Amino acid sequence: MKNLNETHNPELTSWVSSANDQSDFPIQNLPFAIFRRKSNLKQNQGPEKFRAGVAIGDSIVDLKAAHKAGVFSMALTPMLKTLYKPRLNSFMALGEAAWSTLRGELSRALASDSSLRAQLETCLVSQSEAEYKVPARIGDFTDFYTSINHATNVGKLFRPDNPLLPNYQWIPIGYHGRSSSIEISGHAFHRPKGQLKAPDVDAPVLAPCKRLDYELEVGIYIGSGNTLGHPIELDQAEDHVFGLCLFNDWSARDIQAWEYQPLGPFLSKSFASTVSPWIVTMEALAPYRQAWTRDADHPQPLPYLNSHNNRNTGAVDMHLEVSIQTAKMRSDGIAPERVALSNFNQSYWSISQMVAHHTVNGCNLKPGDFFGSGTQSGTTPESVGALLEATTGGKHPITLSNGEQRTFLEDGDTVVLGGWCESETAPRIGFGKASATVLSAL
């Protein structure tokens, strides 16, 4: 776990006043994104280049502009030039010492008593004027299955007497996903087509998915990688993790049911995934770490997945929510309605365990590689992270406050994920939103 330092001081405030007023982005957060202003057409200029920024209140610190304004020490110049690029991979590759150094300088420059206010004020861009893109070039994407509650709920639909497969409690289960279809929050996608086979017919048909679902997940960005053939030890695993985001790994449940045996998800997962724009660094999450536990009557992890440090601080107390806004709600001016509230601290496998297991065979991770945590479900009906669970496989629809019902998603539905951390000794920090809208099939 990252150590607490001056950047985590709960009494710290910023001269950016919006950061001090129940913002997702107080000075204790300072998450990264890739952004640009939406348009320069009024000045008869083309679109700006995408570059790195850090959120503070309702603004973005343009890191390239801040560097040119002389806000940072000259020794940071090589590091800061990596942030001129339209992706964060080069900065991620520098490692946690570089990430922490920049965080410290930004914190001091944005603090209420900073002498750099005049220089830095001119480098702020309103978030309302910004557009974003996926912040890293994601070379490889691995989707894990770390919520035992989700695995049990889904397993009961198909194997009521034995919902968990024998390996689940021994090994962090994952599959290789499709990174090319990961999009930034705010996009829309068409309902996918695929082969569907009803249980009472002999042959499948090609048709639009009828059982479209969301999945409430946490996204994990790898920072510095490892050399092929050299595993990452459990207690060094988080040194290689840059930060977390919100992640919706959409699923076509009927396509999945037909295709997943024997090799797992394919077209049922590769049509769309949604990430939130902001990456909250592991250092920012230090005050919200909790003990990671394993029930005494469950199999205990093998030695390469077990350590004192992981047991003490392996979990992250991160609240997660799902909201839905139907097309009718949108036309009636009704805001998205919460349908689930969960927490990442119930994950059966920790971030470090995912990294250690992924590399134990010598697999090499690279800067910008991405993990999905798997759907994060709690133990109550209100805390499940997918409609497949909430509706018991489509048998019991949920009812929204305007009277509309859903078993699975319909065209025009917008799904919004939210996330935040808070404690009695640390301020609330947020992850922004991850939203996307379902369009009709092509």
Whether the bond into 262 is cis, omega within 30 of 0: yes
Token digits of residue 381: 């009906």
Q: Please tell me the distance from the alpha carbon of residue 314 to that of residue 294, in angstroms, as a whole number.
A: 11
The counts of H helices and E strands in the chain are 11, 26
Neighbouring residues of 273: CB distance < 8 A, sequence distance ≥ 6: 141, 177, 178, 181, 182, 183, 247, 248, 249, 250, 372
Q: Please tell me the distance from the alpha carbon of residue 50 to that of residue 47, in angstroms, as a whole number.
A: 9
180 exposure class (CB count in 10 Å sphere: 0-12, 13-18, 19+): exposed
Contact 92, 369 (CB under 8 A): no
Report CA 442 to chain centroid distance, whole Å.
Answer: 28
Torsion over CA: 128, 131, 136, 142 (sign): positive
Torsion over CA: 49, 52, 56, 58 (sign): positive
Active-site residue among 150, 240, 319, 357? 150
Query: How many angstroms separate the most distant Cα atoms in the chain?
Result: 74
- Residue type, position 176, single letter: H
Partnered with residue 35 across adjacent β-strands are: 51, 132
Contact 89, 239 (CB under 8 A): no
Strand (E) or helix (H) holding 311: helix 308-313
Q: Please tell me the distance from the alpha carbon of residue 111 to that of residue 53, in angstroms, as a whole number.
A: 17
Residue 150 designated active-site? yes
- Please count the other Cβ atoms lying within 10 Å of the Cβ belonging to residue 243: 24
Nearest CA to 313 among 287, 331, 292? Answer: 292
* φ and ψ at residue 398, rounded to 5 degrees: -90, 150
Neighbouring residues of 392: CB distance < 8 A, sequence distance ≥ 6: 157
Pairing of strands 398-399, 405-406: antiparallel
Partnered with residue 52 across adjacent β-strands are: 34
Catalytic residue numbers read: 150
